[in-house]
Structure 1
Amino acid sequence: MTPSTYFFKDVSLLITHYNRSHSLQNLLESLIGLSCSFEQIVVSDDGSQPQHLQKLEELSHQYGFLLVKAPVNKGLGHNINKGQNAIKTELTLYVQEDFVPTPLFPSKFQVALQLLHARPDIDMVRFYAYFEYPYLTPIRDGYYEMKFNIWKPGFRKFYVYSDHPHLRRSNFLKKFGSYREGIKGDNTEYGMMMSFLKNQGKALYYKGYTQLFEQRNSMHEPSTMHRNILRESNNYFIRNCRYLYRHIKFNYDYYFKPNPVRSPSREGSKDDSLGSGV
């Protein structure tokens, strides 16, 4: 092992995959190009089409990862749950297959590991987001602690959890519950976001939130997440109605609704919310 090689001891790489085997290969090649290696790599597939499954089998032999299959598509929640349950190490780096790390990632990931070992109270470290979290306290080397306070203004304060690339403790499901299954991916993420907050989860956040990972979707392998047009529109009226809706819903759910992940009675229920959009 050369000095430039990054071997991350006690860390497993968990990749969720669905019908984007070339994107998966691109992610794995990017990590090799950055001399990153892990104790374990798990690829959790969500019932991909036969051509992608064949490619996954080939890639599993080429890259030496554990492939966890599903007979049919069961959604994001089931895919993360079965993948996480296959992890054997203390820590998990979770990445969806359409992301690739930047050259800055390995050194900053080392810092994240140091911070997580030094702070047993921290549950996860986030490496990517669509916007800057509004309430941050500086730690070091570009990392900040996310400070959730229900009394602070705005609805973006709720976005402490995200299923974008992050490092977490592998007992995550024991502390915060399994991801909700049988519902849309946005609602799965929203449920975990609320469970994370209600169970006093703590997270660190890299303030340069697009500097460590890039999200890449091609014409041949576009995003498999299909969102309601109301979530994407920049129309002034729709955007402000959406903000008002989220502000009311998030506060109501946090105060009055039972934990959407921990409560068995809510498992598999349908929720037509606009999702979290973290």
Structure 2
Amino acid sequence: MMSKKYDFPDVSLMVTHYNRPDSLKRLLKSFQDLNCSFGEVVVSDDASKPENVVQLRELQKIFDCKLITTEKNMGLGNNINKGQRAISKQLTLYVQEDFVPKTLFPEKLEYAVSFLANDKDLDIVRFYAYTLFPFLKPVGHGFSAMEFNAANILSTYRKFYMYSDHPHLRRSSFLDKFGDYKEGVNVEKAEYSMMISFLKKKGKGLFYEDFQGLFDQMNSAEEPSTFKRNWKRHPNFLIGIARHLYKHIKFNYDLRF
């Protein structure tokens, strides 16, 4: 029995890529296996090695992708910006090349598209995270509205990540409203800057509560992750509290100014 076909003509799949063509192939093949098709597929490459670009050209033919390249590595911020500028559809499904969609994802993507169609103030629907967003109001089908409270000093300072570069669906006008990704800085600073802009401009988003039920993040020994997130933990309790307070104060300062 053939599984249901999921067609998203108004959605552009945008994938950022750097030197991991096998991972990219796995991602694109996974969508294909789920009978999930899009109005277009844009692969934004950040100056991969020549031998990997050759493989990208082959994948471009197989999966009918629009391939956006650059001669110099400019970092993830630039890679997202140039990929987004190449998008022609109303909505952008943004996924990095080391993610793989699970069986349930196409069904939940249908709901996400519907949410954005029915609420013109909604900017983003998030599908994946490392931790549960702490302030949520259920809206149905496993999704909840993210509610922000800058004054809650007892919550982790990571509470403010209403935006992240993990897999999500957003309006293709997203950068027009919130500005381009900051370039020339590391990934965490670029993401932090976008998150601050999202909050300052009153961004509105939904979060899928079973946040690891729709995607797997997969890295092989042959194509390991090119980025290690900085999860600092200090064994001294008082120093940990001081760091928490500093980050809380800094965050509120950044949000104001």
Determine if the alignment matches structure 1 residue 194 to structure 2 residue 196. yes
CA contact (8 A) 2:3 2:35 kept: no
Q: Secondary structure at the match of 1:42?
A: strand
Residue identity opposite 1:210 in structure 2: Q
How far the C-alpha of 1:149 sits from its partner, in A, is: 2.2
Distance 1:49 1:234 in 2: 38
Determine if the alignment matches structure 1 residue 119 to structure 2 residue 97. no
Residue identity opposite 1:197 in structure 2: L
Q: Secondary structure at the match of 2:192?
A: helix
Shift in CA distance, 70/177, structure 1 to aligned 2, threshold 3 Å:
same
Listed as ranges, the matches of 1:155-194 within 5 Å are 155-194=157-196
Report the equivalent of 1:222: 224
Report the equivalent of 1:246: 247
Report the equivalent of 1:32: 32
CA contact (8 A) 1:134 1:156 kept: no
Distance 1:243 1:46 in 2: 34
Listed as ranges, the matches of 1:1-278 within 5 Å are 4-153=4-153, 154=155, 155-228=157-230, 231-233=231-233, 235=235, 237=237, 240-255=241-256, 257=257
Residue identity opposite 2:225 in structure 1: S
Could you tell me which runs of 5 or more consecutive residues in structure 1 were left unpaired when the two chains were aligned. 258-278
Residue identity opposite 1:33 in structure 2: D
Q: Relative to structure 2, which stretch is displaced further, 183-192 or 217-226?
A: 217-226
Q: Secondary structure at the match of 2:78?
A: helix
How far the C-alpha of 1:239 sits from its partner, in A, is: 5.0
Residue identity opposite 1:82 in structure 2: K
How far the C-alpha of 1:144 sits from its partner, in A, is: 0.2
How far the C-alpha of 1:61 sits from its partner, in A, is: 0.6
CA contact (8 A) 1:6 1:37 kept: yes
Distance 1:127 1:10 in 2: 18
How far the C-alpha of 1:234 sits from its partner, in A, is: 6.4
TM-score by length of 2: 0.94
Could you tell me which runs of 5 or more consecutive residues in structure 2 were left unpaired when the two chains were aligned. none
Residue identity opposite 2:158 in structure 1: R
Q: Secondary structure at the match of 1:196?
A: helix
CA RMSD of aligned residues (A): 1.5
How far the C-alpha of 1:50 sits from its partner, in A, is: 1.3
Distance 1:10 1:196 in 2: 23
How far the C-alpha of 1:246 sits from its partner, in A, is: 2.1
Distance 2:49 2:58 in 1: 15
Shift in CA distance, 22/245, structure 1 to aligned 2, threshold 3 Å:
farther
Residue identity opposite 1:244 in structure 2: L
Q: Secondary structure at the match of 1:113?
A: helix
CA contact (8 A) 1:123 1:172 kept: yes
User: Which digits, 9 at most, give the CA deviation of each residue in 1:182-213, with x for residues without a partner?
Assistant: 11111110100000000000000000000011
CA contact (8 A) 2:15 2:97 kept: yes
Shift in CA distance, 221/35, structure 1 to aligned 2, threshold 3 Å:
same
Residue identity opposite 1:92 in structure 2: T
Distance 1:27 1:104 in 2: 15
Distance 1:213 1:234 in 2: 30
Q: Relative to structure 2, which stretch is displaced further, 149-158 or 27-36?
A: 149-158
Residue identity opposite 1:86 in structure 2: A
Distance 2:74 2:234 in 1: 31
User: Which digits, 9 at most, give the CA deviation of each residue in 1:76-100, with x for residues without a partner?
Assistant: 1110000000000000000000000
Distance 1:191 1:163 in 2: 12
Report the equivalent of 1:262: none
How far the C-alpha of 1:161 sits from its partner, in A, is: 0.4
How far the C-alpha of 1:241 sits from its partner, in A, is: 4.9
